[in-house]
A and B are shown apart, each in its own frame.
Chain A
Amino acid sequence: QVTLKESGPVLVKPTETLTLTCTVSGFSLTNARLGVGWIRQPPGRAPEWLAHIFSNDVKSYNTSLRGRLTISKDTSKRQVVLTLTNMDPVDTATYYCVRVRGLATVMFDFWGQGALVTVSS
């Protein structure tokens, strides 16, 4: 059974750095055709892809976030970590950890339950 679980703070202050951890089970982070990524969804709005990482450590980022994102993985811990610097109230959203499938065509076939992060002073 594939599961992904997000953990991290529920409240961050403006200018702080958000660090979210995704712990996975039911699949291997060494599978060449699978990866793990992050998607966020502000309340009442569409999802926004942030980043993902594959087993060979190839990473892809949403460039609209202008270098604020970093994704990394610890295969031994079955964890993927996302950091987002210089948080702003507009970054308030539910952050989802997702399993990424495919190489040329990329889809998100399993999602975590999501973690609501609020940015406020």
Chain B
Amino acid sequence: AQTVTQSQPEMSVQEAETVTLSCTYDTSESDYYLFWYKQPPSRQMILVIRQEAYKQQNATENRFSVNFQKAAKSFSLKISDSQLGDAAMYFCAYRSPQENQFYFGTGTSLTVIP
């Protein structure tokens, strides 16, 4: 089984500033997918960004980007120009193609301060 660790239970950021959420994972697989999901108080998990392990280029989606360090098994999420609507729980997830399963971290609660 794979494990995903998010060591920051809570983070805060001033509106318009930049924040980085950390995620590490443990796996013996060489090919896999990594995701960041956002879960606002409405509870719906929303896909923020995905990264394919075989791609060296870091994924970006508008204000969201990742720093993928495959050797270090690290996958952090950077949110630029933070907005009030970014406040939510953020979950890091790993997809194992061999097991065809997703594994989630315990989440980071992000507060955006006006």
A, B assembled together: no
> CB within 8 Å of B: which residues of A?
none
> CB within 8 Å of A: which residues of B?
none
